[in-house]
C-alpha cells in the first residue's frame, strides 16, 4: 500500500519571505478584530450577562414561535429572544436579567413555567444572577491571563526570553483573532467559550513549541547559517507534522461540530476556527519569523541550556 504523503519530502518553501505579507495582514486583521469587539461586540451569554436561558420542547409537533412570543410578551419580562434550536420542536428562550436582584430572576422562571403550563417539556433551565455573572466573567479573564503568564514563564525557562516573547505575541494574536471571529459570527460567548479560547491557546502553543524546538536544534547544529534560512529550514522540516496533526485534529473537531449536538456547537465552531485556521497560520507565519526581529542570539543559554542534554548522534 502506498502511504499518503501530504507534504512532499524535502519541501523548501520560503516562509520567511512571506513575513512582509503576513505581518501586515495579521496587524490589519487584529485591528479589525479589536474594532469589531468594541463596535459590534460579543454576544455575551447569560453566564456573563446574567439572566435566563430556557430550552423548551413543544409536546404537540413543531413549536409555534410566534405564539410563544406573544405568550412571553404578555409577562413583561423585558428583552426576550426566541430561537429555534436544532429540531423544529425545540425553542431556545433567552430572557435578559430582571431588575431586582437574585430573587427577581427566580420569579421570572416561575412566571414562564406558569405561562406555558403543560404544553412544553423543559429541557434546560439556566438562571444566573447578577453577582455570579460578574464573578464568572472576571474569573474567565483572570484565567486567560494566568494561563498566558504560566506558559510564558515555562517557555522562558526552557528556551530564551526571545522565544517566550515571540510565543506571547503569537498567542495574543490568536486570541484577538478568535474574539474577532466570535464577534462576526455572534456565537454565544459563555463559559465554554473561555474553555475554547484556552484550548486554542494550548494548541497554538503546542505547535509553536514544536517549531521552536526545531529552531533551537538547528541553531545548535548550524552555527553560521543566516537566521531567515535557518528558520525556513525549521518550519519546512516540521511542516509535514504540522499538516498531519492539524488534519487529525480537524477530523476530530469536525465530528464534534457535525454530530455533537447544539450544546457544543459554538464550542466546536470556535475551536475549528482557532485551532485549524489561526493556530497553524500563526506558528508558521508569525511565531517563527518574529524571531528574526527579536534577535535570537547564538552561544547563549539556548545552546547550552537544559536542551543540551540531547545526545549528538
Partner 1 sequence: MLYFTRWKAAAIILTALVVCLCAVPNFFPASVVDSWPKWAQRHIVLGLDLQGGSHILLEVDTKAVRREKLTSLMDDVRRTLRDARIGYTGLVIRGNSVEVRIRDAASVDQALTKLRTLSQPLGGILSATGQNSLDISRDNDLIRLTVTEPAILERVRQSVDQSIQIIERRVNELGTVEPLIQREGSDRILVQVPGLQDPTRLKQLLGKTAKLDFRMVDTSIPAEQAQGRVPPDDELLYSSTQPRTPYLIEKRVLVSGADLTDAQPGFDQRTSEPIVSFRFNTSGARKFAEATQQNVGKPFAIVLDNEVISAPVIREPILGGSGQISGNFTVQSANDLAILLRAGALPAPLTIIEERTVGPGLGQDSIAKGKLSSYIGAALVFIFMIMTYGLFGLFANIAVAINVAMIFGILSLLNATLTLPGIAGIVLTVGIAVDSNVLIYERIREEVRAGRTPINAIDAGFSRALATILDSNITTFIAAAVLFYIGTGPVRGFAVTFGIGIITTVFTAFTLTRLIVAYWVRWWRPKSVPI
Q: Which is nearer to partner 1, 10 or 20 (CB)?
A: 10
Residue from 59, 252, 299, 300 touching partner 1 (CB under 8 A): that is 252
> Does the protein bind partner 1 through residue 303 (CB under 8 A)?
no
Q: What residues numbered 103-122 form the site for partner 1, per CB under 8 A? A: 103, 105-106, 109-110, 113, 121-122
* Cα 146 from Cα 37, distance rounded (Å): 22
Q: Please choose, out of 17-25, 67-75, 221-229, 243-251, the segment that lies near partner 1 by the rule CB under 8 A.
A: 243-251
What is the rounded distance in angstroms from the CA atom of residue 162 to the CA atom of residue 249? 29
Contact of 276 with 250, CB cutoff 8 Å: yes
Residue numbers 172-201 binding partner 1 by CB under 8 A: 191-192, 194-195, 198-199, 201
Is the CB of 22 or the CB of 266 nearer to partner 1? 266
Interface positions, 126-155, toward partner 1 (CB under 8 A): 126-129, 131-132, 136, 139-140, 142-143, 146-147, 150-151, 154-155
What residues numbered 12-41 form the site for partner 1, per CB under 8 A?
Answer: none
- Distance separating alpha carbons of residues 27 and 32, to the nearest angstrom: 9
Which CB atom, from 69 or from 113, has the smaller least distance to partner 1? Answer: 113
Q: By C-alpha distance, which of 141, 239, 235 is closest to 197?
A: 141
Instruction: Dump the DSSP string for 17-86.
Output: GGHHHHHHHHHHHHHHHHHHHHHT--EE-HHHH-EEEEEEEESSSS--HHHHHHHHHTT--SSEEEEEES
Alpha carbons within 13 A on the beta-carbon side of 252: 8
| Minimal distance, residue 243 CB to partner 1, in Å | 9
Residues binding partner 1: what is the number (CB under 8 A)?
Answer: 84
- Cβ-based nearer residue to partner 1, 1 or 20: 1
Q: What is the DSSP letter of 309?
A: G
Tell me whether residue 64 or residue 126 sits nearer to partner 1 (CB atom).
126
Candidates 238, 266, 270, 282: give the one binding partner 1 (CB under 8 A): 238
Torsion region of 307: left, alpha or beta (phi above 0 gives left; psi -120 to 50 gives alpha): alpha
Q: How far is the CB of 241 from partner 1 (least distance, A)?
A: 4
The minimum distance between CB 22 and partner 1, in angstroms, equals 23
Nearer to partner 1, 155 or 182 (CB): 155
Residue from 65, 96, 210, 227 in contact with partner 1 (CB under 8 A): 210
Q: Of residues 255-294, which lie at the interface with partner 1 (CB under 8 A)?
A: 255-256, 258-261, 263-264, 267-268, 271
Among left, alpha and beta (phi > 0; psi -120 to 50; other), residue 295 is left
Closer residue to partner 1, CB minimum distance, 113 or 298: 113
Least gap, CB of 142 to partner 1 (angstroms) = 6
Phi-psi category of residue 233: left, alpha or beta, with phi > 0 → left and psi -120 to 50 → alpha: alpha
Q: What are phi and psi of 94, to 5 degrees?
A: -115, 130
Closest CA to 87 of 116, 117, 121, 53: 121
Amino acid at each position: 500500500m502506498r502511504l499518503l504523503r501530504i507534504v512532499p519530502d524535502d519541501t523548501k518553501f520560503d516562509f520567511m519571505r512571506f513575513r512582509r505579507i503576513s505581518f501586515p495582514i495579521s496587524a490589519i486583521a487584529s485591528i479589525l478584530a479589536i474594532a469589531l469587539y468594541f463596535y459590534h461586540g460579543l454576544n455575551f451569554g447569560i453566564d456573563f450577562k446574567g439572566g435566563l436561558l430556557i430550552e423548551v420542547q413543544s409536546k404537540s409537533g413543531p413549536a409555534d414561535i410566534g405564539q410563544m412570543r406573544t405568550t412571553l410578551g404578555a409577562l413583561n419580562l423585558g428583552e426576550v429572544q426566541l430561537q429555534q434550536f436544532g429540531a423544529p420542536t425545540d425553542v431556545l428562550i433567552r430572557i435578559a436579567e430582571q431588575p431586582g436582584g437574585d430573587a427577581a430572576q427566580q420569579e421570572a422562571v416561575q412566571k414562564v413555567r406558569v405561562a406555558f403550563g403543560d404544553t412544553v417539556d423543559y429541557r434546560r433551565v439556566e438562571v444566573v444572577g447578577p453577582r455570579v455573572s460578574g464573578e464568572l466573567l472576571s474569573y474567565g479573564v483572570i484565567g486567560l491571563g494566568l494561563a498566558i503568564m504560566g506558559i510564558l514563564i515555562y517557555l522562558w525557562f526552557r528556551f530564551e526570553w526571545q522565544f517566550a516573547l515571540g510565543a506571547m505575541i503569537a498567542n495574543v494574536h490568536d486570541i484577538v483573532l478568535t474574539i474577532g471571529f466570535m464577534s462576526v459570527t455572534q456565537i454565544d460567548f459563555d463559559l465554554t467559550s473561555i474553555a475554547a479560547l484556552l484550548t486554542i491557546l494550548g494548541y497554538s502553543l503546542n505547535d509553536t513549541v514544536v517549531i521552536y524546538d526545531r529552531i533551537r536544534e538547528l541553531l545548535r547544529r548550524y552555527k553560521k547559517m543566516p537566521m531567515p534560512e535557518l528558520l525556513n529550514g525549521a518550519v519546512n522540516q516540521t511542516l509535514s507534522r504540522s499538516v498531519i496533526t492539524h488534519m487529525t485534529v480537524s477530523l476530530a473537531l469536525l465530528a464534534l461540530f457535525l454530530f455533537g449536538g447544539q450544546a457544543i456547537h459554538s464550542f466546536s465552531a470556535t475551536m475549528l476556527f482557532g485551532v485549524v485556521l489561526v493556530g497553524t497560520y500563526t506558528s508558521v507565519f508569525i511565531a517563527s519569523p518574529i524571531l528574526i526581529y527579536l534577535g535570537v542570539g547564538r552561544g547563549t543559554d539556548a545552546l547550552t541550556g537544559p536542551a543540551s542534554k540531547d545526545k549528538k548522534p
